[in-house]
Structure 1
Amino acid sequence: MKIAVLGWGSLIWDRDTLKIVDEEWNEDGPELPIEFARMSGGGRLTLVIKPNWKPVRVLYSTSAFEILESAIENLRNREGTSTERIGFYNFQNGDKNIKETNLSVFENILAWNKMKDFDAIIWTDLPPNFRDKLKLEYTLENISKQFVEMSSLEFSSAKEYIEKAPKQIQTEYRSEIEKIVLREQANRG
């Protein structure tokens, strides 16, 4: 079984335990609505699928595993999450794990795979949580407030993630978030 692993965030620059066969990530993945909309460990504002937002072309690689369950476990282990948070579609038998909120973006994955012909596709399917975690609306103003309130360690971690995010992942908010980071860095001296 040939399995694609989709990526758009830290998987790209830090494979850690993820086993893939391609030396470099392929830049012609499907278009998905990705945004910096999840507050993760260390204060990082990370990239996740955010339905109904601007689609961007994500990256992909081929898993070193030929058994879908093994590829899912490998990605789950790398991400330090539960199996339920690994999205997948098995083109051979129709098995899938796709959040209801992400069903609309699944059509892009299907259309993309018609050109690539993978037997299965897997991805990290963490939800946006900015509003739930911080009890704030997801706006640039509130993102800016978050950066101001971060400790030095959190700010450093958040800044690193944003700087290392693949340049092709030009989300709706990315350029404004980069400006927020530069402004906050200047304010911190």
Structure 2
Amino acid sequence: MTQTPARQRDAVRTRAEVLAVATEAFADDGYSGARIDEIARRTRTTKRMIYYYFGGKEKLYLAVLENAYRGIRQAEQSLHVDEMQPVDALRELAELTYEHHLRNTAFIRLVSIENIHRGKYIRKLESLGDLGKPAVTILDAIIAEGKKQGAFSEAVNALDLHLLISSYCVFQVANRYTFGHLFDPDFTTESRQEHMRQFIGDVVVAWATQQRS
């Protein structure tokens, strides 16, 4: 039987709610610690309904991972870097990545958990191969234009820049408690966050534009 538009909207909304709550549950408690019963309780649905939409705990976790990675890729695509000068585009991309990680800390915790498991589950997501390509493709386009204009060093490549930006943005979330305890910065203040946002932009632009012998 074909679902009515109202039932379809309800299904989409319920699935989105389960995905949002499951993201926090897996990010907080890991794959082993998260409980489907608790996710069902928090979304006012049933375990049976969650299994109907996602097919089980592992498939729900995989859906959470895929959705988390899709979020950062969609944010990158919103930049329209082809309309900017390459130096400005690179800075915008670095600062946008910082901002996205800052506002989506569950994403970082999920990535950390997946690395603890040595990528056991992410390897099952064939779609992430395609999801990862836009990040490098955008950087490739920025770098190509920057080199064409003589603004960027010929030694610059997309993978190095992606690693540089990602490592900084991940660290400031993943290690904020240990780093904060050891060195006493408060990562939650507006002034600190603005400084860190500008800093990663300065770093990537300086590295990309440095002419090497």
TM-score, with normalisation over the residues of structure 2? 0.21
Richer in strand (by share): 1
**What TM-score results when the alignment is normalised by the length of structure 1?**
0.23
Compare relative contact order (CA 8 Å, sep 6+) and give the higher one, 1 or 2: 1
Report which of the two has the higher share of helix.
2
